[in-house]
A = this chain, B = another copy of it.
């Protein structure tokens, strides 16, 4: 018998709307979706087009994944922890307090079965999850007054988003949900005592140091927050194998590309912030210890009644335990030596 001649299959034209949970002003995070879109378009000579829309243009930022799940739009670029109120398991696709750092998150996602575990859950939500961006460890926010001990956290009205609020309220903090543009006037008037945003690069644009000069670190609730592209499950399944591969590869590249972008921008922004009045402060040890214990309580409470959360959180925790053992050896000691040189003016 003769083999059938190969018929040239033309690549299909696919146009998706991708709603971002972020405004264009958060250009590095918003930019990760643009990078993904650019890579996909270039790889397909423009046949597979991802049109990125800023938060609010099609869908409110905090409802992006809901719109994707419902099929209103094909995909979104978001932080899955925004939806923790539907199910705390959502938070594990981004980060939880004292979670995995950037490199550990990638190791767990790409080699520790993390992506499959997350999709086992997200598929029940009609979503396909692709990691797509990371901020690295964020800062712990801006405070009008110094925090000298855990007692100073008591009664503090703090702008802090989402799942972290559930943990920090155990320290006596009163979490406030305030949109980005309203934070500065709230701090200025003293309606709130503190606010967290992202890190030096994004924070600098909002000028917080003028009204709340004490800039605390580390952001223990944001150890390696992973952004993601969430695709409507049916739309994902409709893609050709080549388009699935192109989108996956573009997201994996954008995931690392966004971290590189922040790592390039944050050092300059930090120097500028300090030159303009920001006063860097480490959180007191008793604050970190109490926060860590509060977080463990929250995880135990949720795990007692939520099997998917427990399964995924246990997997992350087991990997984290070993990863932080290894991190103490080569990486840590290399970096500490280099930091010592930096402090001595020898770098």
Contacts and interface: CB of A to CB of B under 8 A. Distances in A.
A240 to B, nearest CB: 8
Which has the most chain B C-beta neighbours within 10 Å: A249, A253, A259, A346?
A249
A107 B260 contact: yes
A98 to B, nearest CB: 7
A299 interface: no
Interface string A309-335: 000000001011111111111111111
Contact of A43 (B43, B98, B104): B43
A338 B139 contact: no
A266 interface: yes
A120 interface: no
A270 interface: yes
A164 B259 CA distance: 29
Contacts of A339: 324, 327-328, 332
A337 B253 contact: no
B109 A260 contact: yes
A45 interface: yes
Interface of A: 8-11, 39, 42-45, 98, 101-104, 106-112, 136-139, 199-200, 217-220, 223, 241-242, 245-246, 249-250, 252-253, 255-257, 259-261, 263-268, 270-271, 280, 282, 288, 292, 317, 319-335, 337-339, 341-343, 346-347
24 contacts: A44-B242, A101-B331, A101-B334, A101-B335, A106-B256, A107-B263, A110-B264, A111-B261, A137-B334, A137-B335, A217-B330, A218-B329, A219-B334, A220-B334, A223-B334, A246-B246, A246-B249, A255-B256, A292-B341, A324-B338, A324-B341, A328-B342, A328-B343, A332-B335
